């Protein structure tokens, strides 16, 4: 069911989506940095994980989600999934700007890449990401656009997001898996590592221990939240309300499972999670 139409466009919610609970690490930063805004978050848990999907699948999924979030009167769309950002951002931006609402779309890759370039001291940046994100080369392009002289070492981590999504506590299998993914970055001598999947901040302490205290770890949530703030200001869409806004959740899979795990990622209460069925988008296979 579509949300009621707000009196002014700036009072519409910011929409955020991910394949599962990982994007809640991004939503957490948005809630902290933009406390007066309203948010609606959609988790496509029925089709999790996205990390080994094809570009065509990810484009289709993202466009279906975009259409659903338009029905909830989104004023801005945040793609809190690196795989979807890498595969579908241009198509999603084009589709959303063609709508009567003219909704801007922001992804997590570029803010993380720019922040990594600013942070590196030796010009060697590492990226831990899903196979789909690594194969797209999106982070290599984002870093090169900011500084073509920075070298990027990418490591595909097919097992990591599903292990994190499986829940807590972490066992030796998780520790061994993370250590294996970190090894090529240590060998490359990187001094900055981008967490190219929104699940990975949940193992940040483990990563920091294995990489060493002198390596800077970049998660996309905070720089993305700053970009969202800038876009809202430039478009005249920042809410003028004071106090705390509202946030609500949609889920394509089991709402109870999402709520049980999601609280740990968001670090705040989730409240009600509504089930939603996505509709195919005309002209998209």
User: Any idea which residues carry the catalytic annotation?
Assistant: 81, 197
- Written as six digits, the tokens of 101 are 């609402």
**DSSP code per residue over 145-173:** HH-TT-EEEEEE-TTHHHHHHT-SS--HH
Q: Among 198, 196, 190, which residue's Cα sits nearest to residue 216?
A: 190
Beta bridge partners of 251: 43, 275
β-bridge pairing 151-156 and 104-107: unpaired
Long-range contacts of 91-96 (CB under 8 A, 24+ apart): 91/59, 91/62, 91/63, 92/59, 92/62, 92/63, 92/66, 95/63, 95/66, 95/281, 96/66, 96/70
Beta bridge partners of 275: 251
Count Cβ atoms below 10 Å from residue 110 Cβ, excluding itself.
22
Give Cα 120 distance to the centre of its chain.
Answer: 22
Residue 187 contacts by C-beta under 8 Å, 6 or more apart in sequence?
A: none
Whole-number Å distance between alpha carbons of 237 and 195 = 29
């Amino acid at each position: 069911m579509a949300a009621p139409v707000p009196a002014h466009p700036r009072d519409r919610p910011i929409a955020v989506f991910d394949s599962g609970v990982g994007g809640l690490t991004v939503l957490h930063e948005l809630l902290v940095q933009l406390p007066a805004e309203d948010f609606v978050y959609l988790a496509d848990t029925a089709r999790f994980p996205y990390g080994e999907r094809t570009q065509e699948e990810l484009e289709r999924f993202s466009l279906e989600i975009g259409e659903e979030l338009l029905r909830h009167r989104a004023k801005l769309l945040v793609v809190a999934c690196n795989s979807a950002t890498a595969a579908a951002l241009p198509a999603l931006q084009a589709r959303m700007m063609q709508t009567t609402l003219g909704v801007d779309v922001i992804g997590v890759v570029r803010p993380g890449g720019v922040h990594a370039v600013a942070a590196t001291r030796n010009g060697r940046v590492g990226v831990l990401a899903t196979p789909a994100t690594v194969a797209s080369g999106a982070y290599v392009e984002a870093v090169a656009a900011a500084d073509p002289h920075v070298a990027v070492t990418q490591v595909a981590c097919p097992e990591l997001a599903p292990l994190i999504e499986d829940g807590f506590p972490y066992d030796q299998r998780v520790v061994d898996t993370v250590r294996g993914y970190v090894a090529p970055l240590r060998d490359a001598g990187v001094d900055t590592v981008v967490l190219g999947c929104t699940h990975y901040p949940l193992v940040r302490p483990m990563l920091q221990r294995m990489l060493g205290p002198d390596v800077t770890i970049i998660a996309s949530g905070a720089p993305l939240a700053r970009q969202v703030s800038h876009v809202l200001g430039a478009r005249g869409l920042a809410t003028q309300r004071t106090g705390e806004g509202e946030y609500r959740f949609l889920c394509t899979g089991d709402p109870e499972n999402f709520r049980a795990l999601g609280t740990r990622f968001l670090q705040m209460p989730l409240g009600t999670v509504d089930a939603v069925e996505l509709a195919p988008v005309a002209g998209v296979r």
